[in-house]
Every structure is written in structure tokens, then in C-alpha cells.
């Protein structure tokens, strides 16, 4: 809680602003450590802007990098990146809560409010218990994932390096970071036809992207014998996106010799499945993204923009946001006054919030694309892909990120930051707090459509 105490003592900020500032402090600390000679392979200082970019990418669990993680950084530098991924994925408040509990400190009401914002929880009840559950669940899943990966990495790299690679990639996958140690910006392309690595990493990405509330609800199903509306909507939407994305990716790339065209049918399905999972939102790739067809790239952009689910390690506008907008449209077409799903009415406030998040996200992508078109000498396809990848905290790249100008790097840092916290959270943190108005204006009529 030290970071939170310092921020709260010197600045009069609310719980959302504490969350926003806390991530900035964490990014700065990570950048300073990475810039030191003890972090690089050659023992020299690393360009500070590159360190800020990579620290932002790791903290915001994005995966975009300007320097190759496997070859530029030594073990200390990679360890710093790994810590940033873990803290960024869990949320610094969850980690701070663990430290406070170990020190025997009581969690105050305001601290609980910050944890609520960090975990995107419905209420402040049971948040400390929820934080403990999040930490235990995370470490258990990451350990199991590392054990599966070790069966492949140890025979290839030996015990020490194989275990190290297994732990690093398991944490990176579960936290939906997508940063790898394979080297030369290859990601997991050397293992495209290895079902153990591909399925393990893919499973970790899905588990991390569903959200901690969903897994707690599934765990409690044995007692309650029912799932909440939120959990059901998340699971159904996730399955539709994964299965639909797999089928479309297979159709788009099945004859492309540069991706999956020359693979056996089983490997084609495996690669299509993985290419459908990782855009939501972990930047691993088993096939070259720059060699994909136009349809494959566009599908990836759509999946990256949607992202994972609320309260998870993923980014994007979130699965429930997209699902709620679609449900609202279908309800209006059917002549219903309110959005309805599974026999439940959705409050208009939630619909407005979903619409606001989508519009703000689209606005960020639009403005950033325009600005990068000015600062970078690259095609519109490459720029949009990179911007959406940054906003969705995905990390997939067509190769533009390492070639960015200083202005482009700064801009992508801002986008990754907004994408991790959520555009609405950032907007609320910057906005002045105002009291709800009791004034009701007369209805106005506007023609729509």
C-alpha cells in the first residue's frame, strides 16, 4: 500500500485517480530499471523512450515491443519485465493488498473502493477475500501452465532455461501480455505445429481473459447451482468469438502458403484456433501476421477491438460491451422498449455505459490513426492494425512498432495506457466530479436513421 499512501497523502484524489496514477508510477519505475546497464545484454544504457515504451507495454499487458525481449535484455531485464507483466495483469492494488495483509495491516474503506475499481467488481463487499482468491487462482493456473510448457521447453533448452522459459511464457500468457523470449520477434511461429505449446498458451489466454469474477462464479456453481447473468453472457460471447473466429480464419487463410496453406489439416485447424484466441488479447502468434490475407488481418482487428471480459487481464471494449450493444439492437428491431436477455431486462444506464465505452474507444483509435498517418511513413493498413493492437492491449504487430518514430512511440504508449485502464476510467479520472442534476428538461424530437 506504500504507493497508494504516498499518492493519497500528497494529492487529494479519488479512487479512480489513485488507480490511474498508480499505473503511471509503476511504468516509470519499470522504465528506470530497464534503462540501467544491469538490464541489457551488452551492459550499456538503453534509450529511455524505448524503456518507457516497453515498461508501458508490460504493465498494460500489451506485448508490443520496440526491442526484442529475448535478445536485448539479460535475465535481470527480463525479470523486471516479468514483474511488470504480473503486477499489471493482476492490478497493482491486488498486489498491494497482498503485501498489506502479509504485514498485518487492515484494509481501509477507501482502499476497498480502489480495489473495486481495479477488479471491476459490482460492490465492495468481500473484496479482500476476492483479492486473495485472485492471487491464489492466478498462481495456481500459472504453475499448471508452466508445468505443461516445461514438457516441451526442457528437452529443447535444458532444465534451468527450460523451466525459466516455461514460467515466463505461462505468466505472459495468463496475464494476456504476449511478450515472449523466443527471440528475433518470432513469437511462437517455431512451434506452430506443436499442440502442447499452442493449446497450453491458448488455454492460459482464454482463462485469463474470462475474468476472475466468472471463475469465482463457476467455482461456486456447486453450491448455488446457477450462474449469474454476467457469467453466462461472458461464456456464450467468448465461445461465439472463438468458434466463429476459428472458422473464418480457416476460410481466409486455408489456401495462403505463407501462413497455413501448406500445413496438414490438423495444423491448419490448430493455427486457426490460436489465431482466433490470441487477438483477445495476447500478442502471441504462431503464423506470420504480416503475411495474412486481407480478410485475416481485418478479422484480427475486429477481435482485438472487442478484447476480453471485464475484471480480467485482457483489454479492448470487452465482450459484455459488444454483446450488450448487439442485444440492444436486436431488442429494438423486435419492438421492445428495453434490452432483454435470458429473461432479464438490462437497465438503460448499462446500455449507455456500453455505448460510451465503444464510442470513446472508437474515437481513440480514429484520432490515433490520423496522428500516426502524419508522423509515420506507413500504409493505413499497418497503422490501423498497430493502433487497435495497442488499444486492445493485444501486442500483435505487422512489424511497424520497432520502426516507429519517437512521436509514434509516445502516442502508442498513451493508447496502451488508455486501453489497459479503459477509456471510460481515464475519462472519469480526468473529469471534474459533479453532482447529479435534478433538472428534467422537456422532451426533444430528433429524426434518427
Q: With 0-12 CB in 10 A as exposed, 13-18 as middle and 19+ as buried, what is 354?
A: buried
DSSP 368: H
* pLDDT tens track for 421-443: 776 565 555 554 544 556 777 77
- Residues near 76 by beta carbon (within 8 Å), at least 6 away in sequence: 38, 39
In 373-391, which positions are buried (b, 16+ CB within 10 angstroms) versus exposed (e)? eebbebeeebbbbbbbbbb
For residue 308, how many other CB atoms are within 10 A of its CB?
A: 28
d(CA 339, CA 347): 8
Cα 182 to Cα 4, 71, 72, 90, 383: the distances in Å are 36, 9, 12, 24, 25
Q: With 0-12 CB in 10 A as exposed, 13-18 as middle and 19+ as buried, what is 245?
A: buried
DSSP 432: P
* Alpha carbon 242 to chain centroid, angstroms: 16
Return the residue matching grid coordinates 475486429.
302
Average per-residue pLDDT in the chain?
84
d(CA 58, CA 79): 11
* pLDDT tens track for 75-85: 999 999 999 99
Query: What's the average pLDDT block by block, 10 residues per block, for the chain (449 residues)?
Result: 48 61 88 96 94 94 92 95 88 51 51 50 56 82 96 95 96 92 91 95 92 83 83 93 96 95 94 94 90 96 92 84 92 85 86 89 95 94 96 92 94 90 59 56 68
Model pLDDT, residue 431: 53
- Residue 88 · residue 175 · CB < 8 Å: yes
Question: Nearest-CA neighbor of 365 among 317, 428, 322, 300?
Answer: 317
Residue 410 dihedral angles phi and psi, to the nearest 5°: -65, -40
For residue 152, how many other CB atoms are within 10 A of its CB?
A: 18
* DSSP H helical ranges for 220-347: 221-224, 229-253, 265-277, 294-306, 319-333
Residue 67 dihedral angles phi and psi, to the nearest 5°: -125, 140
Model pLDDT, residue 363: 93
The torsion angle over the Cα atoms of residues 426, 431, 432 and 434, rounded to 10 degrees, is: -100
C-alpha cell at 78: 527480463
For residue 356, how many other CB atoms are within 10 A of its CB?
A: 14
* pLDDT tens track for 185-217: 989 999 999 999 999 999 999 998 888 888 888
Model pLDDT, residue 301: 96
d(CA 51, CA 258): 33
Model pLDDT, residue 180: 94
Model pLDDT, residue 353: 86
Amino acid at each position: 500500500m506504500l504507493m497508494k499512501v504516498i499518492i493519497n497523502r500528497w494529492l487529494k484524489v479519488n479512487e479512480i485517480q489513485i488507480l490511474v496514477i498508480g499505473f503511471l508510477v509503476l511504468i516509470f519505475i519499470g522504465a528506470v530499471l530497464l534503462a540501467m546497464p544491469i538490464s541489457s545484454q551488452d551492459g550499456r544504457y538503453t534509450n529511455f523512450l524505448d524503456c518507457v515504451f516497453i515498461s508501458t507495454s508490460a504493465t498494460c499487458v500489451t506485448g508490443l515491443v520496440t526491442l526484442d525481449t529475448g535478445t536485448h535484455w539479460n535475465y535481470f531485464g527480463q525479470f523486471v519485465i516479468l514483474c511488470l507483466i504480473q503486477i499489471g495483469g493482476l492490478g497493482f492494488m491486488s498486489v498491494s493488498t497482498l503485501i498489506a495483509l502479509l504485514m498485518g495491516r487492515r484494509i481501509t474503506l477507501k482502499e476497498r473502493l480502489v480495489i473495486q475499481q481495479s477488479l471491476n467488481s459490482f460492490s465492495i463487499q468481500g473484496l479482500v477475500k476476492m483479492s486473495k482468491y485472485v492471487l491464489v487462482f492466478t498462481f495456481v493456473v500459472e504453475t499448471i501452465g508452466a508445468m505443461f510448457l516445461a514438457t516441451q521447453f526442457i528437452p529443447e533448452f535444458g532444465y534451468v532455461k527450460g523451466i525459466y522459459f516455461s514460467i515466463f511464457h505461462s505468466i505472459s500468457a495468463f496475464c494476456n501480455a504476449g511478450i515472449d523470449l523466443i527471440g528475433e520477434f518470432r513469437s511462437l511461429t517455431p512451434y506452430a505445429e506443436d499442440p502442447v505449446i499452442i493449446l497450453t498458451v491458448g488455454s492460459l489466454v482464454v482463462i485469463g481473459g474470462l475474468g476472475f469474477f466468472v471463475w469465482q462464479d463457476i467455482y461456486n456453481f456447486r453450491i448455488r447451482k446457477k450462474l449469474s447473468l454476467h457469467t453466462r453472457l461472458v461464456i456464450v460471447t467468448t465461445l461465439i468469438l472463438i468458434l466463429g473466429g476459428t472458422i473464418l480464419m480457416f476460410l481466409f487463410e486455408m489456401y495462403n502458403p505463407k501462413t497455413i496453406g501448406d500445413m496438414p489439416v490438423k495444423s491448419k485447424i490448430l493455427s486457426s484456433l490460436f489465431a482466433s484466441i490470441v487477438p483477445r488479447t495476447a500478442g502471441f502468434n504462431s503464423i506470420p501476421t504480416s503475411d495474412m490475407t486481407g480478410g485475416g488481418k481485418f478479422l484480427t482487428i475486429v477481435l482485438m477491438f472487442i478484447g476480453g471480459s471485464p475484471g480480467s487481464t485482457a483489454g479492448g471494449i470487452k465482450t459484455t460491451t459488444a454483446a450488450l450493444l448487439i442485444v440492444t439492437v436486436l431488442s429494438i428491431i423486435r419492438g421492445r422498449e428495453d434490452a432483454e436477455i435470458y429473461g432479464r431486462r438490462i437497465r438503460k444506464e448499462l446500455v449507455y455505459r456500453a455505448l460510451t465505452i465503444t464510442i470513446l474507444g472508437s474515437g481513440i483509435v480514429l484520432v490515433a490513426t490520423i496522428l500516426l498517418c502524419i508522423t509515420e511513413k506507413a500504409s493505413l493498413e499497418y497503422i490501423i492494425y498497430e493502433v487497435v493492437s495497442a488499444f486492445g492491449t493485444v501486442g500483435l504487430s505487422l512489424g511497424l512498432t520497432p520502426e516507429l518514430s519517437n512521436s509514434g512511440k509516445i502516442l502508442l504508449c498513451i493508447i496502451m495506457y488508455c486501453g489497459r485502464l479503459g477509456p471510460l476510467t481515464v475519462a472519469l479520472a480526468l473529469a471534474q466530479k459533479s453532482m447529479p442534476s435534478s433538472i428534467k428538461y422537456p422532451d426533444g424530437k430528433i429524426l434518427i436513421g
